[in-house]
């Protein structure tokens, strides 16, 4: 276990105007699970991109040693030849190809001009069995869920004779059951002598599987903790990550709750493709001014579908029910109508649906309210610059300037740009769908402060989150959604993880008995 497999010495990497890594050194032992944690933008992914050849030799300073031999990786292929394989947070699978075709893409079985399909599928089935995926290798990727796709990526790495498996936020899009299955799989691989490097924001998962944890902050290694020498304590890890104690993960707020701003009655939504399938059924929800209301539930409960159906009927068909804003019935049949009625929806998929990554912070900030920076339907560039600067300052977004492209920002700062876009649209009611997904504990705290500020300004906030501690920590009142129905409602004082799960389980039992 103490044999050094990998060393990275004095790695320094600079992007235009930003030093991403400064003299970072990391060693990884044979057969260990080594976790790397840190805030968004700390340099974790940059370090792993250097190791895996994404950033080729010559674009950074420092040395990489594998089994004591210095390596110069000029491409991903060269690092893979040494057995170093990275699985990125954004899965690199082709939806309309089969599992086997994806697994051997670029690593085809057979001769140069002829693929041996029998060998391809039989080898793929062997590897799928190894990762515990009971799925035919002839199944299309589009027909399996994200959890299974993650296992396909691991099987794909196995096909490359992996010796060091790097996983960047592998459980970010998985539910608790899928995440546990993946972590247990890493422990199985460890028992067979495989080495893994895990990047994750989920400290409970890191503590569960890691032998050692390296904390990176602002491009520098702060500490490396060893499970054999000390117990992993979340507060200690967090302090190393953010440079300060976060004694309370959730900032305090004195709730000043006013009248009802949003009221939804008997809201029913049918699936857009499968006729007759109800996704939401007879939902009744109220949100007051100055109130933060949570919607809790398991994956697939219909939470996102409900929020999107409210926001200009962005999801679903044959939507029935009544929506009132400030007591007045409204018909919001388009996104434009929703925005005009002071409703905002912050999507869970900031990269796919929330932001235009190739555009600047400024352009993204004003996107939902171009009228606010226009004169006679012509955008005023000086005004656009001014208001975007004000939003960035208000949300404490870290950036070189508002003209910086969004894809250069960390996940937490991208999330602030997305929030800023909708805050500039001047909504009265905000639907926040997984507002802290994929961001670190320090950035989460800042997002919670923004949510509190919005509530204190008298806005109404409806929060959807898969993290129960988050729902319990920031919400004044909580609705529990299960299988498209509201199965519970409780105040913050009444709520607990046990109470929420009891509502869900009792509903599922009832459904099974009917």
How far apart (Å, rounded) are the C-alpha atoms in residues 88 and 172? 11
Q: What is the pLDDT of residue 264?
A: 97
Ranges of residues in the chain with a pLDDT under 70 are: 1-2, 16-17, 40, 112, 173, 244-247, 299, 508-514
Tell me 110's DSSP state: B
Residues with Cβ within 8 Å of residue 506, at least 6 apart in sequence: 487
Please say whether the beta carbons of 442 and 245 come within 8 A. Answer: no
Q: Which two tokens stand for residue 398?
A: 């870290």
Q: What is the pLDDT of residue 110?
A: 79
What is the value of pTM for the model shown? 0.67
Domain boundary among 207, 242, 277: 242
Q: What is the pLDDT of residue 222?
A: 93
CA-closest candidate to residue 139, choices 97, 93, 98 = 98
**Residues 477, 365 share a domain:** no
- Residue 362 lies in domain: 355-426
For residue 437, the domain's CATH number is: 3.40.50.300
Residues with Cβ within 8 Å of residue 495, at least 6 apart in sequence: 471, 472, 475, 478
Q: What is the pLDDT of residue 241?
A: 82
Tell me 250's DSSP state: S
CA-closest candidate to residue 469, choices 303, 301, 294 = 294
**Residues 162, 34 share a domain:** yes
The answer to whether residue 248 is domain-embedded is: no
Q: What is the pLDDT of residue 512?
A: 44
Q: What is the pLDDT of residue 490?
A: 95
Please say whether the beta carbons of 415 and 443 come within 8 A. Answer: yes
Q: Which two tokens stand for residue 256?
A: 């000043």
How far apart (Å, rounded) are the C-alpha atoms in residues 115 and 117? 6
**Residues 422, 459 share a domain:** no
Containing H/E element for 4?
strand 4-15
The answer to whether residue 108 is domain-embedded is: yes
When the pLDDT of each residue in the chain is averaged and rounded to a whole number, the result is 89
Radius of gyration of the chain (CA): 24
Q: What is the pLDDT of residue 244?
A: 62
**Residues 204, 230 share a domain:** yes
Please say whether the beta carbons of 286 and 489 come within 8 A. Answer: no
**Residues 96, 80 share a domain:** yes
Q: What is the pLDDT of residue 462?
A: 97
**Residues 371, 279 share a domain:** no
């Amino acid at each position: 276990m103490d044999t050094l497999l990998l060393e990275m010495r004095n790695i320094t990497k600079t992007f235009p105007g930003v030093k991403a890594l400064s003299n970072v050194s990391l060693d990884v032992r044979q057969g260990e699970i080594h976790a790397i944690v840190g805030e968004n933008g700390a340099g974790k992914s940059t370090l792993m991109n250097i190791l895996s050849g994404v950033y080729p030799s010559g674009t950074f300073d420092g040395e990489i040693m594998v089994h004591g031999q210095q390596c110069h990786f000029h491409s991903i292929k060269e690092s893979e030849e040494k057995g170093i394989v990275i699985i990125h947070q954004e899965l690199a699978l082709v939806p309309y190809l089969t599992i086997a075709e994806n697994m051997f893409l670029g690593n085809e079985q057979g001769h140069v001009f002829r693929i041996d399909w029998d060998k391809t599928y039989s080898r793929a089935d062997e590897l799928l069995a190894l990762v515990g995926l009971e799925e035919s290798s002839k199944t299309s990727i589009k027909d399996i869920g994200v959890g299974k796709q993650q296992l396909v990526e691991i099987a794909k790495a196995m096909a490359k004779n992996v010796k060091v498996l790097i996983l960047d936020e592998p459980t970010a899009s998985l539910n608790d059951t899928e995440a546990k299955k993946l972590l247990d799989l890493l422990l199985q691989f460890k028992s067979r002598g495989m080495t893994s490097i895990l990047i994750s924001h989920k400290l409970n998962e890191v503590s569960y599987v890691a032998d050692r944890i390296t904390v990176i902050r602002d491009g520098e290694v702060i500490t490396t903790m060893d499970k054999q020498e000390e117990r992993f304590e979340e507060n200690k890890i967090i302090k190393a990550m953010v440079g300060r104690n976060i004694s309370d993960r959730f900032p305090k707020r004195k709730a000043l709750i006013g009248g009802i701003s949003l009221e939804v009655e008997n809201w029913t939504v049918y699936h857009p493709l499968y006729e007759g399938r109800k996704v939401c059924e007879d939902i009744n929800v109220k949100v007051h001014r100055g109130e933060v209301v949570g919607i809790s539930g398991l994956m697939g409960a219909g939470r996102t579908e409900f929020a999107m159906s409210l926001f200009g009927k962005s999801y679903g068909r044959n939507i029935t029910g009544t929506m009132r804003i400030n007591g007045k019935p409204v018909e919001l049949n388009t996104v434009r109508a929703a925005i005009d009625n002071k409703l905002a929806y912050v999507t869970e998929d900031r990269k796919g649906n929330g932001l235009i990554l190739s555009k600047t912070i400024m352009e993204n900030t004003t996107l939902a309210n171009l009228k606010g920076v226009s004169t006679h339907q012509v955008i005023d560039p000086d005004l656009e610059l001014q208001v975007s600067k004000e939003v960035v300052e208000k949300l404490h977004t870290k950036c070189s300037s508002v003209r910086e492209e969004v894809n250069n920002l960390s996940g937490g700062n991208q999330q602030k740009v997305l929030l800023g876009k909708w805050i500039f649209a001047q909504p009265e009611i905000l639907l926040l769908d997984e507002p802290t997904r994929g961001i670190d504990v320090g950035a989460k705290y800042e997002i919670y402060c923004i949510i509190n500020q919005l509530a204190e300004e008298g806005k109404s906030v409806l929060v959807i989150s898969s993290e129960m501690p988050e729902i319990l920590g920031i919400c004044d009142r909580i609705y529990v959604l299960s299988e498209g129905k509201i199965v519970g409602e409780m105040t913050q004082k009444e709520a607990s993880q046990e109470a929420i799960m009891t509502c869900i389980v009792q509903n599922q039992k009832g459904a099974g008995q009917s």
